[in-house]
Amino acid sequence: MDPALAQRIRDDNVRLHDAPGYADFYDDQLALIRNPWEQRVFRDDLARIAARLAPGFAALDLGCGTGNLTLKLLDLGAAVTGVDLSAAMLDRLRRKLRIGPLPAGRRGASGDSSDDRPACTLLAADVDDYLRGCSIRFDLVCACSFLHHLPDYLATVSAAAALVAPGGCLYVAHEPLASGRCDLPGRALEWLDFRWQRFEARTGLGGRVARRDPYYDPNCLADYWAMNRGLDDAALRRTLRAAGLQPTLVRYDSKRHRLLHAAAKLLRTQHLLRFEAWRPPAPATRAIHD
């Protein structure tokens, strides 16, 4: 990718996610966060993964934002490190965890929540920079609705996979599937769903003025790979296998509006992608006896 384009993608992500009030809007209005069906999928996936790991397992949440996965992991007893480019998004998560705000001028901080949850370390940093410099291995590395924001998502997946400990897992959810790999009904429902949302935002249809999106900008590249591109599941599978992981990729769908979501479930459309990839456990060592 052209370096100038990659930098613009990063800059647009910072500009959008650090915009005044966006973190609150994200939690209060974003369809991903407000969708009970998909949130249940995330909880069930993480609970099933946690059951295969040791109690108190170490988890790394990439692009943790306001805590969509981090909070679920803490409830499962994990010790979580959350990394995000946006200090504003992390500040909202800190308020949820009752951790003090990030000191002025600092790009990273950690703290323990004041309730009975395990310790949570939060770092404001570019995820790719963090992955390049990290020497720690984690039992679980995870991300949700994150890869499509990145300039080179395959390079990030490869770097993230390198931090998965033996017997550990890389879990990613809610990513747009490449349009060429989506089924036709899925593409049609997504087209309707997006334009329905934009129509409501412009008109306040049905008195839903509170759902207006003041942050939408068609020229913003923060969602670069979601803009008529999507993620290539075949390339992801190859990247995960090359990193020594055993991947399981699932195509699924979830819509912003209830009627279209019901239609997607009924038709079993495929527009989104989630996967988990496990690293085989280290070989057991045999004791040598004389």
Classify residue 284: in a domain, yes or no. no
The domain tally of the chain equals 1
Q: Identify whether 138 is part of a domain.
A: yes
CA distances to 116, 169, 172, 222 from 126, in Å: 29, 22, 18, 14
Nearest to residue 260, comparing CAs of 187, 172, 201, 206?
187
Q: Is residue 45 part of a domain?
A: yes
- Residue 210 is part of which domain span? 3-278
pLDDT of amino acid 118? 63
Is 252 domain-assigned? yes
Residue pair 165/280 in contact (Cβ under 8 Å)? The answer is no
CATH number at residue 16: 3.40.50.150
Q: What's the CA gap between 228 and 89, in Å, rounded?
A: 26
What tens digit of pLDDT does each residue of 71-97 get? 999 999 999 999 999 999 999 999 999
In a domain, 290, yes or no: no
Q: What is residue 112's predicted lDDT score, i.e. its pLDDT?
A: 46
User: Is 41 inside a domain boundary?
Assistant: yes
* Residue 224: DSSP 8-state: G
Q: Is the residue at 105 inside a domain?
A: yes
Note the pTM of the prediction, 2 decimals.
0.87
Residues of the chain with pLDDT under 70: 100-118, 201-212, 228, 284-290
